[in-house]
Amino acid sequence: MSLTKVSNTLAGDVSRRRFLGLAGIGLVAGTLAQVRRAEAKTAKSAAQYQESPNGDKSCDNCRLYLADSGTCRVVEGDISADAYCRFWVG
């Protein structure tokens, strides 16, 4: 193998390693951002919280709703099972 091919191969390996390293850092940063958002819950008004469902979408069938405590992972305060907000996740 020529020196040029070896050099190009090594440069490619370094680029992949660097890319994977940066991608890992991005993943960690994204996870930390989600944790921070979860710690600082959104006000009901900012979430466009309403006491009635939006069609078949309600807090009761949202993944963020915590039925045991009647709270939400992202919206502050007590949450009605029949309510709805813009963060609804099916």
Provide the pLDDT for residue 15.
73
Of 84, 63, 82, the C-alpha closest to 73 is 63
Regarding the domain with residue range 42-90, which homologous superfamily does it belong to in the CATH classification? High potential iron-sulphur protein (4.10.490.10)
Q: Give me the residue spans of the domains in the chain.
A: 1-40, 42-90
> What's the pLDDT tens digit per position in 12-66?
556 777 766 666 666 656 655 665 655 689 999 999 999 999 999 999 999 999 9
**What pLDDT does residue 5 have?**
57
3-state helix, strand, coil in the chain (%, to 5): 45, 10, 45
* Res. 69: pLDDT tops 80: yes
Q: What is the pLDDT of residue 41?
A: 93
pLDDT computed for residue 18 by the predictor: 72
Quick one: pLDDT at residue 23?
62
CB 78 within 8 A of CB 69: no
